[in-house]
Amino acid sequence: KIGDDEYIFIDTAGIRRRGKIKDVEYYSYLRALDAIDRADVVVLLLDAEEGPTDRDAKIAGIALEKFKPIVIAVNKIDKLKSQKEWENIHRRLDLTFDFIAFAPRVFISAKEKRGLEELLKQVKDLYKQYTKRVTTGKFNRALSELMEIHQPPVYKNKIVKIYYGTQVKTKPPTFLLFSNYPEGIPKNFRRFLENRIRKEF
């Protein structure tokens, strides 16, 4: 309990890079997947010296597929001594997590107790977004503006229209859209809508 807020942290233990996994670590990996299912917010904890790995990207991808809020926490920043080392870790984070560029990053040192307040602040903020409700009126005004910018492509020589939408649940915020030809809305346009809605709200 911190102030008026109560947090439950699930530690999944270390998950090493591919090729170094032993039986015990394989079960740690399975526990991590279970923890993602149970979590409201996923904190992906990285080692500043080792940097992000392919397995970190895979875990982040799973969290994304499950629509879980994610914050990237880079630990052991006390080990980074030079500007070059800092630039290197930022570059590697950009490359590894380009598919979740919207995820906040926090640089911490558990040893020196640095950055922990910022981490909790991000967790709290992401939870607030995860449980957010948007009124139907506000959502449809934003949706109407989006449709003016970019219409869905023509489907079988027919004009595809998205009439309106409404939020149907939280955790994660989920929106139901009504269209004359929903099967005619391709994946790339759905991603466009998802990204713009995320940015807007």
Stated as kind and residue range, the H or E segment containing 40 is none
| Prediction pTM value | 0.83
Instruction: Indicate the pLDDT class of residue 37, thresholds 50, 70 and 90.
Output: very high
Instruction: List the single range of 11-15, 124-128, 169-173, 182-186 with lowest mean pLDDT.
Output: 11-15
- Predicted confidence at residue 168, as pLDDT, reads 97
* pLDDT at residue 21 greater than cutoff 60: no
Q: Which of 167, 173, 195 is nearest to 67 (CA)?
A: 173
Beta bridge partners of 45: 73
Predicted pLDDT of residue 13 = 62
Query: Tell me, what's the pLDDT at 55?
Result: 86
Residues 6 or more apart from 79 whose CB is under 8 A from it?
A: 48, 49
Between 14 and 116, residue with greater pLDDT: 116
Q: Are 200 and 142 in contact (CB under 8 A)?
A: yes
Q: Supply the Cα-derived Rg of the chain in whole angstroms.
A: 20
Q: What are the pLDDT digits (tens) for 64-77?
A: 999 999 999 999 99
* Six-digit token string for 111: 């040893």
Dihedral angle sign, alpha carbons of residues 92, 96, 100, 105: negative
Percent of the chain with pLDDT over 70: 93
Whether the pLDDT of residue 19 is over 60: the answer is no
Q: Which two tokens stand for residue 14?
A: 């270390």
C-alpha span between 195 and 170 (Å, rounded)? 17
pLDDT tens digits along 135-174: 999 999 999 999 998 999 999 999 999 999 999 999 999 9
The model's confidence at residue 27, banded by pLDDT at 50, 70 and 90, is confident
Alpha carbon distance 89, 95 (integer Å): 10
95 vs 23, residue with greater confidence: 95
Single-letter residue type at 114? R
pLDDT digit string, tens, across residues 99-109? 999 999 999 99
Q: Report how far residue 166's alpha carbon sits from residue 72's, in angstroms, rounded to the nearest whole number.
A: 30
pLDDT recorded at residue 10 = 83
Residue 133 has which token pair? 């409700």
pLDDT at position 92 is: 97
Distance CA 126, CA 39 (A): 12
Q: Where are the beta strands (DSSP E) in the chain?
A: 42-47, 70-75, 105-107, 162-169, 174-179
Amino acid at 11: D
